[in-house]
Amino acid sequence: MVRLRTLTVMVVVAVAIGTSCSGGGSETSQSSPSTSSPATTVPATSTQPPTTTAAPTTTVDPIALAGEKYIEFVKPSNCMIGLIQILEADIIGDDGFYEREWPKVLEQIVPAYKTLADDTVTFVEKLVSYDWPDEVQSDVDALVTELVQWAGWYAGLGAATSFDSWNAAIEAQIPAETGAATIVRAKLGLPSNINNDENFCEGIL
């Protein structure tokens, strides 16, 4: 908002009448009384900058932000693992499956492992590219090392084309569990397991 001010200027004009001389006679002078012009009011404007209020500063907790990113990154692979567990329970069960049941495994479970391998690779790439807080960086590095091995194992199952090649992939060296994921989650203030609460895996499970 601009506030107007008035500036009063008094203008005074003095008029002086010069002296006149008469030849050889006495010198007389006459002056006219000074006159003043009426006061004149001249409006003037004064521009003042608008008053601004500084926006409140917010501090983002890097651990909380990293936790949100971790959940975002892990979601596809974590939910695909859940889907595979459901499929295996339905098709393979606890005792495995016979060769005559291979077509069903090839149709449903093998593609799921291929997707899981791809999702795990993507998960690794996102873990590597994110700038993690110092207190969790080494644990993320350990998790990446473990996940690379798991991605290879999943890829072997996802590439099976026969009953025998499936069995060979199953019998391949399974990566060692280092517990890195549990440590990362604990340091980021996340639950030990990320499940399907609140439709976390909607569209996958």
Tally the domains of the chain.
Answer: 1
Is residue 106 one of the residues assigned to a domain?
yes
Task: For 119-153, write each residue's pLDDT tens digit.
Answer: 999 999 999 999 999 999 999 999 999 999 999 99
**Least-confidence region, from 47-51, 63-67, 74-78, 103-107:** 47-51
Is residue 186 one of the residues assigned to a domain?
yes
Helix (H, G, I), strand (E, B) or coil at 45: strand
- H/E segment holding residue 151: helix 134-158
Closest CA to 17 of 3, 5, 4, 28: 28
Is residue 96 one of the residues assigned to a domain?
yes
Task: For 11-48, write each residue's pLDDT tens digit.
Answer: 333 333 343 433 444 444 444 444 444 544 545 555 56
Is residue 118 one of the residues assigned to a domain?
yes
Is residue 24 one of the residues assigned to a domain?
no
| pLDDT higher than threshold 70 for residue 62 | yes
Is residue 2 one of the residues assigned to a domain?
no
- d(C-alpha 199, C-alpha 79), whole Å: 11
Domain housing 119:
62-199
Q: What is the pLDDT of residue 44?
A: 53
Is residue 119 one of the residues assigned to a domain?
yes
Burial class (CB in 10 A: 0-12, 13-18, 19+), 149: middle
Is residue 88 one of the residues assigned to a domain?
yes
